[in-house]
Amino acid sequence: MRIAVLQFPGSNADWDALHAARDVLGADAYYVFHKDTDLRHPDAVLVPGGFSYGDYLRPGAIAGYSPIAAALRAFDGPILGICNGFQILTELGLLPGALARNAHLRFECRFVHVRTEAEGPFTRGMRGRVLRVPIAHADGRYHCDDETLRRLEAEGRVAFRYCARDGHLPADTADTEDGLPINPNGSRAHIAGIYDARFRILGMMPHPERACETILGSDDGLSLFASLRRHLEAQ
Partner 1 sequence: MSQPFGMPGDPPVDAALAATMGLSAEEYAHAVEVLGRPPTYTELGVISVMWSEHCSYKSSRVHLSRLPTEGPQVVQGPGENAGAVDIGDGFCAVFKMESHNHPSYIEPYQGAATGVGGILRDVFTMGARPIASLNSLRFGRPEHPKTPQLLRGVVAGIGGYGNCIGVPTVGGELQFDASYDGNILVNAFTVGVARSDSLFFGVAEGVGNPVIYVGARTGRDGIHGATMASAEFGEGTESKLPTVQVGDPFMEKLLLEACLEIFASGCLEGVQDMGAAGLTSSSVEMASRAGNGIELDLDAIPRRTRALSPYEMLLSESQERMLMVAKKGREQEVFDACAKWDLEVAVVGRVTDTGRFVCKATPGFDPWTDIAREGDPRVVVDLPISLLADEAPKYDRPRRAPSTAGTQTPTVAPAEDLAEELLGLLRSPNIGSRQWIYRQYDHVVRDGTVVAPGAADAAVVRALCETEDGPREKLLALAVDCNGRHVQLDPFAGAAMAVAECARNIACVGGKPLGTTDCLNFGSPERPEIMWTFARAIDGLAAACRALDVPVVSGNVSLYNETDGRAILPTPTVALVGLVERPEHVRTMAFAREGDLVAHLGAPSRGALGGSEWLTQRAGRVCGAAVGIDLDAEAALQRALLELARNALTRSAHDVSDGGFAVALAECCLTGGLGARVRLPGAADRPEALLFSEEPSRVLVSLAPEARPRLEKVCASHGVPCTFLGEVGGTTLAIEDILEVPVAALREAHRSALNGIVPDA
Give the catalytic positions in this structure: 83, 207, 209
* CB closer to partner 1 out of 33 and 125: 33
Instruction: Using CB under 8 A, pick the residue from 51, 86, 160, 225 that binds partner 1.
Output: 51
Q: Does 23 bind partner 1 (CB under 8 A)?
A: yes
What is the C-alpha end-to-end distance of the chain, expressed in Å? 12
Considering only the C-alpha atoms of the chain, give the largest distance between any 2 of them, rounded to a whole number of Å.
47
Considering only the stretches 46-54, 115-123, 145-153, 157-165, report the one whose residues sit in contact with partner 1 under the rule CB under 8 A: 46-54
Burial of 232 (0-12, 13-18, 19+ CB in 10 A): middle
The answer to the question of residue 107 lying near partner 1 (CB under 8 A) is yes
- 154-213 residues in contact with partner 1 (CB under 8 A) are 179, 207, 209-210, 212-213
CA 183-128-96 angle, 5° bins: 55
217 belongs to the binding site for partner 1 (CB under 8 A): yes
Q: Does 148 bind partner 1 (CB under 8 A)?
A: no
Question: Residue 230 interacts with partner 1 (CB under 8 A)?
Answer: no
Q: Shortest distance, CB of residue 199 to partner 1, whole angstroms? A: 28
Q: Which position among 55, 91, 117, 220 is part of the footprint of partner 1 (CB under 8 A)?
A: 55
103 binds partner 1 (CB under 8 A): no
Residue 56 or 65 having the CB closest to partner 1:
56
Which is closer to partner 1, CB of 109 or CB of 197?
109
CB of 200 to partner 1, least distance (A): 26
Give the CA distances from residue 114 to residues 10, 124, 158, 159, 203, in Å, rounded to whole numbers and listed in that order: 27, 16, 11, 9, 14
Q: How far is the CB of 135 from partner 1 (least distance, A)?
A: 9
| Cβ 67 to partner 1 shortest distance, Å | 13
**Number of residues this chain uses to bind partner 1 (CB under 8 A):** 36
